[in-house]
Amino acid sequence: MRSLYPDLPLFVVGHSLGGLISLLAVLAAPEPTFFRGAVLMAPLIEVDPSMATPCNIWMAKWLSNILPQMPISHVVSEAITRNRPALDAMLADELNYSGGVKVKFAFHGLHALAHLEKSLGQIRLPLLIQQGAVDTIVRPEGARKLFATVPSEDKQLLEYPEAFHNMYIEYDEVVQKVVMAEHKRMFRVLSELIRPLEDKIRIVSQPQEKINPDLALDAILAQKVPDAQDVRWTFVSQILAHLTEIAQSLKGSFDVLLSVQEQKDISTAMQLVIALGILPNLIPEVGLSIEKRSKFIQTCLASQKDIHIDQKYWKLVSVAKGLLTLVEEPLLSEVILSKHLGDMLAMFIQLGYAPLKKPNPPNVSTQPKEYVMTPERFDQLTQDQAFFRTELNRILDKLYQPMVVKHLLVIQSNAKGPKWVKRICGDFLSERLMREHGLMNVIRGVMDVGEGTESSSSSTQRYQIIAQVLANPPASTYKNTEAYYEKICPQILDILALRSNPESQHFHLIACACVKTISERSLILSRRYLLDKIMETFLRMNAIHPDPTNEVSEEAIEKNLNLLHLIFVVGNDPSGVFLAHLEPILLVLMELHCAVTYGVSALKKPLEELLLRYLKCCSNSDSIKAVKAFAFKDLGHCQDGLNRFQLPREGIKFINGEQGGIQMVFQPNELDEQFYVSDDEKSIVIVDLLQDCKDKALATDFFISLLKDLSELMGRIAREPSPPISNVNSNSLEEKLLSFERDLDQTMLKLRKNLMIVRLLGLLSEDDKIQQNLMKDSEQLLEFVCLTIERCALSCANESEDDEEEDGSQILEAQSLMMALTLLSVKVTQPYVQIDEWKRLQNGLKDLDILGKMYPDERARQLSRRLKLLIATHGAVMDHKDEMERHIKTMFSKVDDIHNISEKVKQMKALQSLTDPLLPIRGHGLIALTKLVNQKDEVTLKNVKKVMDIFKDNLADEDTYIYLQAIYGLVACANYDPALVIDVLTREYALIDDRKYIGEGAIEVRTKIGEALVRVTKTLNELTPKFKNQLLNPFLGQLNHPDELVRASSLSNLGEVCRNLKYSLGMILDEVFMCLHQVIQTDKSVQVRRAAVLVVSLILQGLGPDALKVLQSYIKEIYKTLIQLQRTETDPPLLQHVDIALGEIDDIVRRFFQPELNHTKKIYVLDTPDNE
């Protein structure tokens, strides 16, 4: 065998007695490495000690010479295997020996066992021992003894609990376990081979550690193959050999699955093969750019020694053929191709498509370092290229195509790569694109490249780029653009027909961008292969369609409408050129919109958005033409030579479907008797569309266009005579009736058009925004007004006096004139009218004079006369404009002087009242002066210091009426000098007892001053903490007053001040709560205790959520005191105050433990804060 296959490793396999023979063969091998390994199944290592006694051995030796063929034992057939069918087949086999063990054979076997037992220490090759635990033919102890005695480093004992002697004919599950054990052993060998280098990969991947890659790799690999010259290539060869061995063992094993660790080991081994066997041998910049490789790959490539090109080619071919063998196994192919396809593609593209140098002529000398290409070498390389091209196409065809597209794009994206590589990748991509579902595969592949790294804006830009690439046929391969679009456009339609979900949204947007790009590149082909098919349902409703339809289902209408909405609204940015493709079916869409507007339909929103997108984004002239064509059912306004709009087919109607949608039916013989109602609804729909557009210019231009149409209509009616009843010369009554019917139809159409104009003008004239725009853009408005007034004046002057009967034209003329006069009156009454406009209006004074004298309608005559007077006198007003402006300024200055005088008079009266000897008048003067301060009178505020002195002087008055009014005046002045006011009021509050007030009068005065101090704190608001000592001391000082009302009032005022101070109380809290505690515990007056509890609740209200922070050391005592009061007190008002205070504490604690969740949005202009 060794002579026949010198390059293959040799393994020895033995079962039972064959195991003994295999071990003897290993011992007798000419060299230790002759066999690469041994596999022993139930090997005969030792016999039963009860049978191998010295006596039996001597007897066997003696009988072997006398009766060598005498059988001494028989094998029990039931002990061979548990697989009964296999056992029966083996026993029935004539070639199978079923006799007993002969004596001479047994003697030599015992001799061989003795020799083996002495030589077991010499066996060092890899060893796999398999033994059945219930084997009665060969003792399992022998296998265990062999495993324990042999000094081999790579050895394994697999003992199967229920297996008999012949395990190779065991049940399938047992065989499968054996196969799995062998797989694990192979993977363990592979893992041991790659594990040290894998650790080095991790080390090299860390940028902070720098090592010498040559020393690291060579040192590791030299331990495996010490005699190899090219250490790296030897390592790659070993990995490929182990992977090939694994692939061969997996053949036919359909139930075998690779564990996660095994897949990881294969992937790591492939990384090493790529790093050491593929990348160093590739042409520079073929495949992924080096800058995008890992640190380990860059280190390996940087330390790679340069070798001859033939050696690189030979190594690359060897690796490629080895990998071709591996990918034939499905389990390995899945791991290898899913993770390393890009580098394999680069390798096969180079081997199959790299340009070859032409063979050198035989008589031409070459440079010493120049590569010599011989004809034989060229032919061999050409054959290799054909082989690798075939293999590459075979691999690409069986792979998931989006993954192929992804890796081809990555290879093609290398900017420094050779041009032939980019061309080949482009050819492969084009080939994938032209296949069935090729467009979807290409889009999936493109989307996989850099997935998850873009924002929404960059994703949209990316979709546009993809569409640009897909919509332009590759010039190198497909020069026939129509053939390319014939293949691609049906795939675009298939993508658009995908059911809407988050995954298909990206494909829809790309397909929509493709539709737009193709329409921009080729208008004819886009209509032929895309747009006409998308709009086919609505095109068949047009009058000029060669194959019209009589009925369209609601499913077809909904499907096509949603598709149009996706393409023109959702999937693309607004573009008037692209939206112009809707014009052939735009009037049909408007008819459909009119049908669903007055009902409930799912089509209402997409249909409205589609129409609004066209009206907003197209030019105003095109939008107005479309709306007029829909309103009048006439293309006379659209005759621009392009025939862009198409009228719907006569007789089509949109009705409600059975499934809640809208379907189209054809009713050609049904007369539209309700045309007035339908036209009225249509006019409302048009006005709603214009309002929803929110385009002021569009609505205004449409309104002016209707005004011009009305003017032309009136002129045409005045010029054209009434049509005769019949122009038929024949005396046939039937022909006369037919002619009369035709004339009547034409008259009705004109009447409907005229009425539609009037309806639309009436509805639009009610829009205030249109009127405002008309006033801003008055050039066209004045043109219409002047023309209308001139025409009506001329008609009025030429009208005969006997013609008093009114017809339709006179009614329309009257409406037109009243509208023009109304607009003119609005215009001329505006504050700013240009001089040129006045001059233009003065040219129509003659016409206004005629209308004011001769027009039959009284309202029109009066309005004409007023407008004539206003326009005629405007010139005189303009001459005196400057003089009038100066006069107005003078009048305004006089009014200001009068106002200042009146204010001074008020102050003078108040001051004069203060000097009156009568007490009520002096009090009224103080009240008036206080009002002036509150009203912020300018004169009073300029002298606020003097006013405050007046209030202070009146504090000396003994009468309480004057005294209290002076106090109120000082409170009003607190905004201007709070320090002075607080100082005066607190001093007065403290000196009440020194004054001559006695009894209830003193108590009332003290209460009023306390209330005044509270009002000052409310006025000061956040400035109150500055004066807290001045405010609190007077109130605290009155807590020992003998009168209980004074004490209660002081506590009430103290609570109000503390509530306004909030968390600014600071260290005063100790004194405040000590006083409150003493009052609550010791004061005999229930009114005082009520006020003390009220102070607690007011302090808690003022602190709010900050109470737990400010009252850290007090809150517990406060709570205990309140609970004690709740249990001991019987006064209902006092208990009510206690409940309020406890409720405040409960709310504070609840908000602390269960804060409100406020969802706030924070917008940062530059960078987010560090704590976010």
Active-site residue numbers?
Answer: 16, 135, 165
- What whole-number distance in Å separates Cα of residue 1080 and Cα of residue 1084? 9
The answer to whether 14 and 102 are in contact (CB under 8 A) is no
Q: Which two tokens stand for residue 1068?
A: 């005063």
What tokens appear for 376 in the block? 């034989």
Q: Which two tokens stand for residue 110?
A: 């015992």
CA neighbor of 1015 nearest in space, from 934, 1083, 908: 934
Q: Which helix (H) or strand (E) holds 438?
A: helix 438-448
Question: Which residues fall within 8 angstroms of residue 529, CB to CB, at 6 or more apart?
Answer: 485, 486, 489, 490
What is the rounded distance in angstroms from the CA atom of residue 25 to the CA atom of residue 179? Answer: 25
Distance CA 1062, CA 744 (A): 89
* CA angle in degrees (0–180, nearest 5) for 640-645-650: 130
Residue 267: burial class (beta carbons within 10 Å; 0-12, 13-18, 19+): middle
What does the alpha-carbon distance between residue 1158 and residue 1079 come to, in Å, rounded to a whole number? 42
Cα 331 from Cα 294, distance rounded (Å) = 26
Give the separation between CA 959 and CA 25, rounded to whole angstroms.
139
DSSP structural state of residue 354: P
| Beta strands 662-666; 71-73: pairing state | unpaired
Torsion of CA 330, 335, 341, 342, to 10 degrees: 180
Nearest in space to 486 (alpha carbons), one of 439, 545, 548, 417:
439
CA distance readout (Å), 966 to 922, 927, 952: 11, 9, 7
- Chain centroid to Cα 556, Å, comes to 31
Cα 595 to chain centroid distance, Å, stands at 35
Beta bridge partners of 656: 662
CB-CB contact of 315 with 240 (8 Å)? no
For residues 972 and 1015, the answer to whether their CB atoms sit within 8 Å is: no
H helical segments located in 126-168: 140-149
Distance of CA 92 to the CA centre of its chain: 74
Cα–Cα distance list, 795 to 349, 717, 853, 1035 (Å): 89, 11, 13, 93
Q: Report the C-alpha gap between 274 and 240 in whole angstroms.
A: 11
* Helix, strand, coil tally for the chain in percent (to 5): 70, 5, 25
d(CA 545, CA 568): 23
Spatial CB neighbours of 575, under 8 Å, sequence gap ≥ 6:
516, 617
- Pairwise CA distance, residues 650 & 261, whole Å: 74
CA distance 1146 to 1135: 16
Residue type, 588: V
Cβ atoms of 1138 and 1129 within 8 Å: the answer is: yes
Tokens 């006439």 locate to 634
Among candidate residues 41, 37, 39, the one with its CA nearest the CA of residue 10: 37
Radius of gyration of the chain (CA): 54
The values of phi and psi at residue 128, to 5°, are -120, 120
Q: What's the CA angle centered on 404, arms 383 and 354, to 5 degrees?
A: 30
Amino acid at 1051: L
